[in-house]
Structure 1
Amino acid sequence: MFIFTTYVTLPLLTRVGSADGRESALMLRKIADGGREKEFLMSLLGIGGAHARGPGIADPAVRWRIGELGAVHRGLPGMKGEYLDIFAGVIGLSYLRTAAALKYRPDTDDCARYWRYLSQSMALFGAELGDRETVTDRCERFVTRHSGADRHARACLAQLSAAHPGHMATCHRALFPATRRVVGTLAAEPHRRRFVS
């Protein structure tokens, strides 16, 4: 939820892949229903049905799928290497920020292994994940500069909120401050369903 909420509130990224560079791409309109992006994240993190652990990138089929999806994203109109790196950073930081929001502190070794695994996975995707401090700083600056919401983001956030209210509440605590402000502003708009509890 952290990943999707951060993504949908970055119009600069959601417009990548659109025909004219102004409207949000089809990817945004489908994101709340899961689909390919959700499948990608589950296979990347080694999560199967009912959250069973899977082999992750040890599985050649998973590596192939990651590479294929990366090639599709790299070929989208308007895509830049910086955008892929930012999205990789948001994916990488999602676990750490959500864990902090839930007051869970993974040990240092687990964090290092996790970051190494994600770095290798994102390299298959075609993105570069640097050290955590640099990635955190770069993502925070990008999100601060580019956060906002168009009508597609509003619809997507409303859908996510209706389908997963508990996850949205946890996600809200984990979000970057700029994203939290956008979500809070949308939630406060009159005649709109609240996005966070």
Structure 2
Amino acid sequence: MFIFTTYVTLPLLCHVGSTDEHGAPMLRRIVGGGREKEFLVCLIGIGDQSVPDGGIANPMVRRLLTDLGNLHRDFQGMHGEYLDFFAGVIALSCLRTATFLKLTLNVDDCHRYWRYLRHSLMLFGAELGDWEAVSEDCERFVARHAGADYRTKANLTQLFTAHPEHMATCSGTLFPESRRVVATTMSAQLPAEWVSR
């Protein structure tokens, strides 16, 4: 939810690869369980037990990452900066969620996780620095580009309808400007504690 909610609060990114004026085809595929969701499950190794084991040690997972990266780079309007940003948000998602949930993270495990994600996302075509720099870069990107357009409310409604159980966690993990866009756009549908956080 952190990843996809961040995405839909950035109209600049929602327009990348869009084929019509009514929606974001990529978001519809993601929420419906498409290749992007499979990519996340295979990459981080959580969720559906039917996914292949081994992460990027598995040739099938490496091929999936490479093919999906090639697909995204070919999207109309795609730039390297956007790909790096989206990869950064993916890599940060577990760390931000763990922080919000007040989970104690072993520093060595965090370093191993980040090294794994950096190498994995190179196959996707993204270049990531250390996690502090990536976090700062992503927050600056969101601060520059967050906003709402004619499809933001529909996209957010789709996400929150599909995954209502993750609304509270999403609230605590979003970058401030993304959170502001959600609170402004969805104020009538959000729980009071979400809006006042």
Aligned equivalents of 2:27, 2:147: Cα separation in 1: 14
Q: Give the letter for the 1:174 counterpart.
A: T
Structure 2 unpaired stretches of 5+: none
Residue in 2 that maps onto 1:136: 135
Number of equivalent positions: 193
Aligned equivalents of 2:56, 2:141: Cα separation in 1: 28
| 1:7 and 2:14 aligned | no
Aligned equivalents of 1:73, 1:160: Cα separation in 2: 21
Residue in 1 that maps onto 2:190: 194
Q: Give the letter for the 1:135 counterpart.
A: V
Residue in 2 that maps onto 1:66: 65
Aligned equivalents of 1:161, 1:76: Cα separation in 2: 26
Taking a change above 3 Å as real, the CA distance of residues 111 and 66 of structure 1, as seen in their structure-2 partners, is: same
More divergent stretch after superposition (45-54 vs 2-11): 45-54
1:42-83: CA deviations, max 9, x gaps?
A: 011123525988311110000001000000000111100000
CA RMSD of aligned residues (A): 2.1
Aligned equivalents of 1:152, 1:28: Cα separation in 2: 11
Structure 1 segments, 4+ long, off by >3 Å, are 22-25, 50-53
3-state DSSP of counterpart to 1:72: helix
Matches within 5 A, 1:1-197: 1-19=1-19, 24-47=23-46, 49-50=48-49, 54-189=53-188, 193-194=189-190
CA drift at 1:18 = 2.2
TM-score by length of 2: 0.90
Aligned equivalents of 2:37, 2:27: Cα separation in 1: 12
Contact 2:72 2:78 in 1 (8 A): yes
Contact 1:48 1:54 in 2 (8 A): no
Q: Give the letter for the 1:97 counterpart.
A: R
CA drift at 1:161 = 1.4
Aligned equivalents of 1:34, 1:11: Cα separation in 2: 22
CA drift at 1:154 = 1.4
Taking a change above 3 Å as real, the CA distance of residues 188 and 48 of structure 1, as seen in their structure-2 partners, is: closer
Q: Give the letter for the 2:62 counterpart.
A: R
TM-score by length of 1: 0.90
Aligned equivalents of 1:183, 1:172: Cα separation in 2: 9
Structure 1 unpaired stretches of 5+: none
1:82-134: CA deviations, max 9, x gaps?
A: 00000011001101111111011211001000000000111000000111111
CA drift at 1:168 = 1.5
Aligned equivalents of 2:115, 2:95: Cα separation in 1: 13
Aligned equivalents of 1:57, 1:44: Cα separation in 2: 7
3-state DSSP of counterpart to 2:186: helix
Aligned equivalents of 1:132, 1:36: Cα separation in 2: 26
